[in-house]
Structures are given as C-alpha cells and as structure tokens.
Amino acid sequence: MNETIRNIVAYIPNEKIRFFKHEITGDLQLELTDKKAIMTILKETSWTEIKRHIDVKMNPKYGECPICFTKDIKRRVTCSKCIAAHCIDCYIEMFVKNHGKSICPFCRFTIGTTNLF
C-alpha cells in the first residue's frame, strides 16, 4: 500500500490530493481536491487501475449521467472496477435503495455492507 501511495503522490501534484480513511469501512480514500472527486483505494487494486481512475476523474469533460441523463455532472462517482461514471445523486439513491451497498449498474461490482441501515 505504501508503494501505491508513493506512486499516486508522484503522479499528481501534492496540493491537489488528500488521503483519509473512510469512517465506516476503514478503507483508504483519495480525494482530488480541485476536482471534488473521491475514490476508494482497495488493497487488491493495482496501480494501473488506480492510474486509470485518476485519469478519468481528472478529465475536465464530465458529460451526462447515463442513469438520469443530467447534463454536465458537477460531482460524479466512478465504479472501482469498470470506471463507469454517474452523478452523486444517482449514487446516493442506489446506496439507500440497496441498504448500504453500492452496486455498479454496469458491471454489478458491489462494495459496502447491508448492516448500515
């Protein structure tokens, strides 16, 4: 994990990132502060996958949400596996509907637990 953090710091200027632990899961979180984007760094996630996520989140073209079709997504969430992006409102709605689990509508990757609600 330390090597992954060193790779991230070398790849992105320090003033643009912040690391913290998720208060419920304890997973390491990476915040791209100037893009208002957060991603979870799982222990099994490779540097190649993390770099791909960073590149997607740093991309200034936000486009539209493929779920609700909201134009120009201001805050988006990307799947930890397939990098499908959708708006934060759709993510929250899915999280609540699935009782504390986030299930990607595209690849069905699941993260979270049903013990939250």
- Predicted TM-score of the model (pTM): 0.55
Domains for the chain: give ranges and CATH numbers. 1-60 (no CATH), 62-117 (3.30.40.10)
C-alpha dist (Å) from residue 104 to 18, 39, 70: 25, 14, 18
The residues with which 38 forms a beta bridge, in sequence order, are 31
Structure tokens that stand for 20 in this block:
């913290």
pLDDT in tens, 51-68: 877 777 666 555 678 888
Mean pLDDT in the chain? 77
Tell me the pLDDT of the chain (117 aa) as tens digits.
Answer: 778 888 888 888 766 788 888 887 788 888 877 766 777 787 777 888 888 777 776 665 556 788 888 776 667 777 777 777 788 888 888 888 888 888 888 888 887 665 544
